[in-house]
């Protein structure tokens, strides 16, 4: 594996020194602007119970806690580096009993069915194995009428994704039509697509 591949593989699963650098970078810059844009399309109520899948450095967990001041947010990530960083960023909310950060992955979500009002995935579905099965898992743990919000940095329509897919093992950048089809097959309805034409950011919101 070349040095660039080694560095950028940490976007999939942050590990070691480069992983710590990556999760710090995930919490700011363009990632923050894109996350705020994505959340602008999602209505959140004060006491929502939210799960963020692939919580990375924890900045989006913090954003969700702020938007749901009487709610609870659980973050999961399969990277111990990410779990540690996210726990540090959200330490006060964890101490207050409003937040949990767990080691886990999209293939084995930490809940029985009909638990969460909202599930979010910021820049992570690129790496989910057997994506329709993962989407079925999200569908299972959502309450009836609950929503699943996917926010991606690339809509898969520019051709730029090809270089990243070659560089990062196991990555696939989904187009809006691909995500819509997979979500429909997993049982979701009322699928809304928001595509930022300037940046080619993508937000997809689907309802159980």
Q: What confidence tier does 22 reach under pLDDT thresholds 50, 70, 90?
A: low
Q: What's the pLDDT score for residue 1?
A: 47
Q: What's the pLDDT score for residue 160?
A: 74
Mean pLDDT (the chain, rounded): 88
**DSSP letter string over 3-46?**
HHHHHHGGGTS--HHHHHHHHHHHTSHHHHHHHHHHHTT----T
Domain interval for residue 76: 3-207
Task: Report the percent of the chain where pLDDT is more than 90.
Answer: 70
DSSP 105: B
Beta strands 189-195 and 202-207 are antiparallel
Question: In the predicted model, is pLDDT for residue 20 greater than 70?
Answer: no
Question: Which is more confident, 112 or 144?
Answer: 144
Region 135-139 average pLDDT: 97
- Work out whether the CA dihedral 205, 76, 129, 186 comes out positive or negative: negative
Measured in degrees and rounded to the nearest 5, phi and psi for residue 24 equal -65, -40
Question: In the predicted model, is pLDDT for residue 9 greater than 90?
Answer: no
User: Which CATH number covers residue 43?
Assistant: 3.40.50.150
| pTM (global) more than 0.75 | yes
Q: Provide the domain count of the chain.
A: 1
Question: Which is more confident, 9 or 182?
Answer: 182
Question: In the predicted model, is pLDDT for residue 113 greater than 90?
Answer: no
> What does each C-alpha distance from 80 to 8, 109, 112, 197 come to in angstroms?
17, 16, 23, 35
Task: Report the percent of the chain where pLDDT is more than 70.
Answer: 83
Question: In the predicted model, is pLDDT for residue 61 greater than 70?
Answer: yes
Question: In the predicted model, is pLDDT for residue 19 greater than 50?
Answer: no
């Amino acid at each position: 594996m070349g040095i660039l591949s080694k560095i950028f593989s940490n976007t999939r699963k942050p590990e070691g020194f480069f992983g710590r650098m990556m999760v710090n970078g995930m919490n700011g810059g363009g990632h923050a602007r894109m996350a705020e844009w994505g959340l602008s399309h999602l209505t959140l109520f004060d006491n929502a119970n939210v799960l963020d899948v692939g919580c990375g450095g924890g900045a989006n967990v913090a954003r969700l806690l702020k938007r749901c001041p009487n709610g609870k947010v659980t973050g999961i990530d399969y990277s111990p580096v990410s779990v540690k960083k996210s726990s540090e960023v959200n330490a006060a909310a964890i101490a207050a009993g409003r937040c949990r950060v767990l080691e886990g992955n999209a293939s084995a979500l930490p809940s029985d069915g009909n638990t969460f009002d909202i599930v979010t995935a910021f820049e992570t579905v690129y790496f989910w194995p057997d994506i329709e099965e993962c989407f079925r898992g999200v569908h299972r743990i959502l309450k009836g009428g609950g929503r699943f919000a996917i926010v991606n940095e690339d809509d898969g329509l520019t051709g730029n994704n090809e270089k990243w897919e070659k560089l990062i093992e196991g990555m696939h950048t989904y187009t809006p039509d691909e995500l819509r089809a997979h979500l429909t097959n997993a049982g979701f309805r009322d699928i809304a697509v928001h595509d930022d034409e300037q940046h080619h950011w993508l937000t997809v919101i689907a309802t159980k």
